[in-house]
Amino acid sequence: MKKGRLAGRRVVITGASRGVGFQTATRFLAEGAKVIGVARNRANLARAARAFKAYGRQFQPVLADMASPAGVARVAGAVRRRWGALDVLLNNAAVNPGHAPLAGERDAAMESTLHINVLGPHRMTHALLPFLRKGKHPRVINVSSGAGSDESVSTGTNMSAYRLSKWCLNGLTKLWAAELKGKVSVIAMDPGWVKTDMGGPSAPDSPTMSAERALAIVLLPVSVTGTYQAGARMIPWVKTRRLTRK
């Protein structure tokens, strides 16, 4: 068996083709995890799979759209066939449609953002629950954002669809955590403001920092649940953070 702090751990990462998800898959594979990596763009996912070629069957790409129940079912099917159990679900895939205030938000943008950023993680948790229940120290990590804090939705006048979606994701995290207490840990993670296609070039941090945060969360005792984490550090749900995206 491959050595490392995640040796043999079975992990699903959505949005594994780019940015935070790609770096987290890179980090987890190096620590010995087996990873199913999900994305919706065929070329992007194929590029990631090529980057992970040296890991052989340790990495499996699954092309699936997190906006659709069919996409979620495809991932669940892959988990059933490959492992029949799951240890970690990292709900990382998300979109940010832009800077609009609520009054300027297009209906289609609002709908797709909520589908991908909220319903996607909810359906994934629901569909993969039977496998998580059979997993070792099972944990769901929902990749949230400072944009989802109470303060952000109380004061924000731009990025409305995105803010709302992450605030809802935080609520979803608390609801699942309460329901699955003692069975599956459910945690929200702040990945920081990082240089990715979404974070933009002005972001102060790199996605490798987010990957370290994700690793630290996976390594927390499974009794830790219903919290908002920046790595091993717990942070308040009301937290303020500078919200700019150039």
Among the listed residues 6, 13, 67, 161, the single contact to ligand NAP using CB under 6 A: 67
Q: Which is nearer to ligand NAP, 19 or 135 (CB)?
A: 19
| Binding status of residue 93 toward ligand NAP by CB under 6 A | yes
Closest CB 78 distance from ligand NAP, rounded Å: 14
Residue 189 in tokens: 């993670």
Footprint of ligand NAP on 134-153 (CB under 6 A)? 143, 145
State how far the Cα of 163 lies from the Cα of 209, in Å rounded to an integer: 22
* Alpha helices, H only, the chain: 19-30, 42-51, 69-82, 107-114, 120-132, 150-155, 160-179, 207-218
State how far the Cα of 180 lies from the Cα of 224, in Å rounded to an integer: 12
| Binding status of residue 214 toward ligand NAP by CB under 6 A | no
Closest CB 236 distance from ligand NAP, rounded Å: 16
| Binding status of residue 41 toward ligand NAP by CB under 6 A | yes
| Binding status of residue 18 toward ligand NAP by CB under 6 A | yes
| Binding status of residue 31 toward ligand NAP by CB under 6 A | no
What is residue 100's DSSP assignment? Answer: -
Residue 235 in tokens: 């942070």
| Binding status of residue 24 toward ligand NAP by CB under 6 A | no
What's the helix, strand, coil split of the chain in %, to 5?
45, 15, 40
Amino acid symbol at 178: A
| Binding status of residue 154 toward ligand NAP by CB under 6 A | no
| Binding status of residue 170 toward ligand NAP by CB under 6 A | no
| Binding status of residue 17 toward ligand NAP by CB under 6 A | yes
Q: Which is nearer to ligand NAP, 2 or 216 (CB)?
A: 216
Contacts of 33 (CB under 8 A, 6+ apart): 4, 6, 7, 8, 9, 10, 11, 58, 88
Q: Which residues bind ligand NAP (CB under 6 A)?
A: 14-15, 17-21, 38-41, 44, 65-67, 92-95, 116, 143, 145, 191, 193-194, 196-199, 203
